[in-house]
A and B are shown apart, each in its own frame.
Chain A
Amino acid sequence: MSMTLGAERRWRSIALALWTCASIWFAAFERAHADEASGTWTGELEGHGSYYYERSTEVWVPTGRLSVEAPNGMRMNVSYLADVIASASIGQMGSDIDKVHVEVRQGIGTGFGKTIHIGENELDLSVNAIHSWESDYFSWFGGVRAGYLFNQKNTGVSLGVTGVHDSIYRNAREGQRFFGNLDGVTLTFGFSQILTPVLTFGAGYQLVYLTGFLGNPYRVPKIGPLPDMEAPPDTRIRHNLEFTASLYAPATRTTFQGFARLYTDSWDLNAITPELRIYQELGRDFGLRLRARYYLQGRTYFALEGTDLGNYAPGYTGPVTADPKLSGFHSIQLGGRISFALTAFERSFLRFFSRGVLDLSFDHQWTTVDSTSFGRRNFFMILGGRLPF
């Protein structure tokens, strides 16, 4: 069902009111139970500035998050992000208005949670919500998660359920046109096990069901002699299976972390993603993280590729897309991150910052994706920090 821009704003106002009520309840709940705890509030302030570059597109993303935990264990967080996207390619930005080269997406998020102690075990419950908007795309997201730690907290299981509702518009010369909705549900199952004092293992499965408009209203694959509107199927079911293992070597103060993901979906797109990370502690204040990631995917059954063009006659009405990320390709990503703990402030008047950590990371990716706008290389940098209090 179509939702007008005014309706989008009304929903945003309703969400803000609900969040305010939840915050008041959160504060009231804490006051009512103040005698149960020590009275100490803790939290963390986190901020990052990210930059992404590829041949036709640059993206700047400042983000911030404030998390607090009440003495009774109730947690709350609020976050904000802005995506500033600049593109030299109109096709990439996807508008038929020549002047549109910069687009801004904003997002706000909030979450509440609490850990409940049951004997030696722990039950953690949390809810979160995110709303993001830009000139032609509105997204509402909500999720709940339950995690349970048992076996002297060596074993963990978790279950998460999320829902998303997106409204998709198209900026055009005659104004903003509604294109469709996209709805999705995600189920996530997780398992973790501490195997030894230096070895952990984790596994997870994620099922995603999407329905609605799953294409891009600006992408126009060429079918026969003329460009035509992209028409992917209106449902998609994704399956993710992932494994993680971490090993710490005390002698060298090094952590080796391996990750593998197996992916398949109802569009016949299959992918594998192995990744290795090495964390090296350097003295008391510095840390280094190196990462190598490989990504390999096959194509969807309806992806147009160069030699396929002749197979589609004018008037073809089946599913078709020219989306480069639905073609077959592989990529290699190498990156590094250095972390610096601000313990040097311990003996100064700035000792409030002495528990903070600054991070700077740089990643470079080489890809074989068949796209003139994406390019074959890209990189991104992230500068940020965390300040517990």
Chain B
Amino acid sequence: VKPYEREYLTRPGMEMRGEAQAGEFEAHLQSSREGAVGGHGTVESSTGGGCGCN
């Protein structure tokens, strides 16, 4: 794909970083309620805390 063909690649949803900070909150919620952790561009920034449980 040439540089001048990239207009649509900047649209919402074509780039995940648009929800980065909100995604961190959601990832933390999921890590406190689900056994599987990680993926979807997240990293395991903490293994527990902030949820009343590990």
B47-A166 in contact (CB<8A): yes
B52-A92 in contact (CB<8A): yes
From A107, A153, A289, B13 is in contact (CB under 8 Å) with A289
Measured CA separation A255–B19 after assembly (Å): 15
* Nearest chain B residue, comparing its CB with the CB of A47: B21
A57-B9 in contact (CB<8A): no
A380-B47 in contact (CB<8A): no
Interface size class of B (residues with CB under 8 A): 35 or more
Q: How far is the CB of A276 from chain B (nearest CB, A)?
A: 11
Q: What's the count of A-B pairs with C-beta under 8 Å?
A: 193
Secondary structure class of chain B's binding surface, majority of residues: loop
From A240, A279, A325, A374, B39 is in contact (CB under 8 Å) with A240
Assuming A83-B50, A162-B45, A295-B34, what are 6 further A-B pairs, CB within 8 angstroms? Answer: A164-B47, A208-B37, A255-B12, A263-B36, A271-B35, A369-B33
A→B interface (CB under 8 Å): 46, 48, 50, 52, 57, 59, 61, 63, 65, 79, 83, 85, 87, 92-94, 103, 105, 107, 130, 132, 134, 137-139, 141, 143, 152-154, 160, 162, 164, 166, 168, 182, 184, 186, 188, 194-198, 200, 204, 206, 208, 210, 214-216, 218-219, 238, 240, 242, 244, 246, 248, 250, 253, 255-257, 259, 261, 263, 265, 269, 271, 273, 275, 277-279, 281, 287, 289, 295, 297, 300, 323, 325-326, 331, 339, 359, 361, 363, 367, 369, 374, 378, 380, 382, 384
B→A interface (CB under 8 Å): 1-3, 5-9, 11-14, 16, 21-22, 24-26, 29, 32-41, 43-54
